[in-house]
Amino acid sequence: MDLAERKLELIDWVSKTKSNTLLELLEIIKDSNSFSDEWWDNATDAEKQSIKKGLDDLDNGNLKPHSEARRVYEKWL
């Protein structure tokens, strides 16, 4: 499914909703700068490198289960 088809599918779905809560959430997303396409341009080199490393780890199957991550970082949660 290409971008145009995905947009049309979402437009159709939103136009049929009866959920005021859903519409409010979508408005928050629309108005939020954090969902802007510019976020990558505003990221530091260190942040970009960290994201790229994470994606490489994902591609290579270098993953840890959620339970292990929780155990390691539990004291900060």
Give the structural domain span for 53: 45-76
Q: What is the pTM of this model?
A: 0.44
Would you state the structure tokens that stand for residue 62, as one six-digit string? 């270098």
Q: Is residue 65 part of a domain?
A: yes
Q: Is residue 55 part of a domain?
A: yes
Q: What is the pLDDT of residue 10?
A: 92
Buried b / exposed e over 42-70, threshold 16 CB at 10 Å, is eeeeeeeeeeeeeeeeeeeeeeeeeeeee
Q: How many CB atoms neighbour CB 4 within 10 A?
A: 8
Number of domains in the chain: 1
Q: Is residue 62 part of a domain?
A: yes
37-57 confidence digits (pLDDT tens) = 677 888 899 999 999 999 899
2-40 confidence digits (pLDDT tens) = 899 999 999 999 999 999 899 998 988 888 766 666 778
Q: What is the pLDDT of residue 46?
A: 95
